[in-house]
Structure 1
Amino acid sequence: MPAAFELSEVSVMRPGKLLLADVSWTVDENERWVVLGPNGAGKTTLLQIIGASMHPTVGTVDILGERLGQVDLSELRTRIGHTSTKVAERIPPAESVRDVVLSAAYAVTGRWNEEYDEHDHARAEQIMGEWGIAPLAGRTFGTLSEGERKRVLIARALMTDPELLLLDEPGAGLDLGAREDLLASLETLAHDDDSPALVMVSHHVEEIPIGFTHVLLLRDGKVVAQGPIDEALTADNLSRTFGQRIQLDDDGGRYAARRAGYGRRAVRPADTGENA
């Protein structure tokens, strides 16, 4: 299976700060990854690297068959879908939902005088229908709820049929109902064989959709663990990642984590044969 991207011994250094330290990571095109770690772990920096928005200080990065430093970044970025609060902040509040999605065809925020063809309009209508935001098409972005905004941003990221989709904390700021609605949609996306390679950044195991296949755990810019989610997502690895004793529960692929009680070993319930 071809790799969507491959990082080899990547480090990112800034004056007085090591943001990433010797990270090697390969993601195949059919894999769905979640990146977990505390604030300051280097998650955002890692996403900027694989989103072709930042070059490493040391190491090599190959994305969609192209090596950073030897490729036209503007062309490479059109092949990558990306959702984040920074993208949301660049969208004019008065922009219609339809134009927020449609303008992704030109990789711009804020429609001006671009000309879109029939295919662009059809694709925008299709993706809005798939993500349940067609009724919002005439609404302005600034009037949407947080859950509606997250769906619009994902639809925008999928507008160009990307080969790699990066989701930066899609569940942040959502209430329980909106989060569960979003996770249900992401589960559908994860199980679709035609979906691009997926990488989602989160702080919380509760936000991992069923169908995500792998996990990378990051702390202080260093990889704590990585691999298939049923092997690498353990209480011990979470405890090392977040710096405290964590108990992990797994209910059919939906996870929950909490601080382990005094005197209790941080384990999966499966390790003891008991429910926590």
Structure 2
Amino acid sequence: MRPVISLKGLSHMTGSRYLLKDINWDINQGDHWVVFGMNGSGKTTLLTILAGFKPLTHGSLTVFGEPYTNDNVLEIRKRIGLVSASFFDQYYTRESALDIVLSGKFGTFGIRYDIQDEDIIKARKLLVELHLGDKIDQLFNMMSKGERQNVLIARALFSNPEILIMDEPCTGLDVYAREHLLNVVRDLAEKTDIAIIYVTHYTEEILSVFDQCLLLRNGYCYTMGKTKEIFNTKSLSDFLRFPVDVKIAEDEKIYIKMDIKSNVRDVIRGSDIWLQ
């Protein structure tokens, strides 16, 4: 079976600095991957390259068997749903929620002339389902962070994607919206053959459906493999370079406990503390 996404030695440089270096990774239709790493590890850069919004500088990338070109990039983007507030917040400001969702039809930032009535109906239904029924005509920059996140989720799902790429999708969501989204993701994973790539900082968001995992550190692939084999006390302690205790709850959610000391109280009270 040919992978829907294949990376060979993929790298991305800014100036003389590598944000990603020598990533080799194959993703098949129906795979469910979680990507985990600290801030600055290259996660968002990797996802935006996969979705065709940022170029690689070295190596190769094929999506649905083809490399991105000027001729095919929009057609491929239509088959991929990308949720990334850290990326789209750079481009969207005064667009309405409805127009942003409709742009998912074209793989662009804006909408084109061939919008049909059924497209508008579908976009409105998605926004209602994501609790934005009263925000359909609201401007993006007038929404809360959680509302903006839900708009991007609706945009990603609009074209019924074959690949769904989610960059910290629960960021800014309240507890109800977070659980609702996780249930949506679980349902898509269990009942469709969509390939899902899910980035998070929080291990309790790693659903049992995410049976494969890639750990990124400083732009390099630290390791990849079965999630159950990677998310254990020893492996995570080595990866994070700090002792952690990993626990798997009865609902199969993963929790990490870290014993981190703080001297903030002493600092604000004026106590003498030697700078390390």
| Common fold by TM > 0.5 | yes
Query: What is the RMSD computed on CA atoms of the aligned residues?
Result: 2.7
Question: What is the Cα deviation at residue 177 of structure 1?
Answer: 4.1
SS at match of 2:76: helix
Change (3 A) 1:109 1:32: same
Query: C-alpha deviations, 1:44-96, integer Å up to 9, x for none?
Result: 22112211233333322111221245963232222221111232443334x44
SS at match of 1:40: coil
- State the partner residue of 1:242: 240
TM-score (norm 2): 0.81
**Separation of aligned partners in 2, 1:110 and 1:75:** 15
SS at match of 1:65: coil
- State the partner residue of 2:195: 197
- State the partner residue of 2:78: 78
- State the partner residue of 1:272: none
Is the 2:11–2:20 Cα contact (8 Å) retained in structure 1? yes
- State the partner residue of 1:7: 7
Question: What is the Cα deviation at residue 39 of structure 1?
Answer: 1.3
> What residue ranges of structure 1 are gaps of 5+ in the alignment?
263-276
Change (3 A) 1:100 1:45: closer
Partner amino acid, structure 2, of 1:258: K
Instruction: Tell me the matched-pair count.
Output: 259
**Separation of aligned partners in 2, 1:130 and 1:192:** 18
Partner amino acid, structure 2, of 1:116: I
Question: What is the Cα deviation at residue 199 of structure 1?
Answer: 0.9
**Separation of aligned partners in 2, 1:228 and 1:14:** 31
- State the partner residue of 1:271: none
TM-score (norm 1): 0.81
Change (3 A) 1:123 1:218: same
Question: What is the Cα deviation at residue 27 of structure 1?
Answer: 0.9
Question: What is the Cα deviation at residue 244 of structure 1?
Answer: 1.0
**Separation of aligned partners in 2, 1:253 and 1:231:** 14
Q: Does 1:171 align with 2:149?
A: no
- State the partner residue of 1:233: 231
- State the partner residue of 1:209: 207
**Separation of aligned partners in 1, 2:107 and 2:25:** 27
Q: How does 1:1-276 map to 2 (within 5 A)?
A: 1-68=1-68, 72-85=72-85, 86-93=87-94, 95-109=95-109, 114-128=113-127, 130-134=129-133, 136-194=135-193, 196-251=194-249, 252-259=251-258
Identity level (%): 33
Query: C-alpha deviations, 1:169-211, integer Å up to 9, x for none?
Result: 11223344443333233222222215x2111222221222342
Partner amino acid, structure 1, of 2:191: D
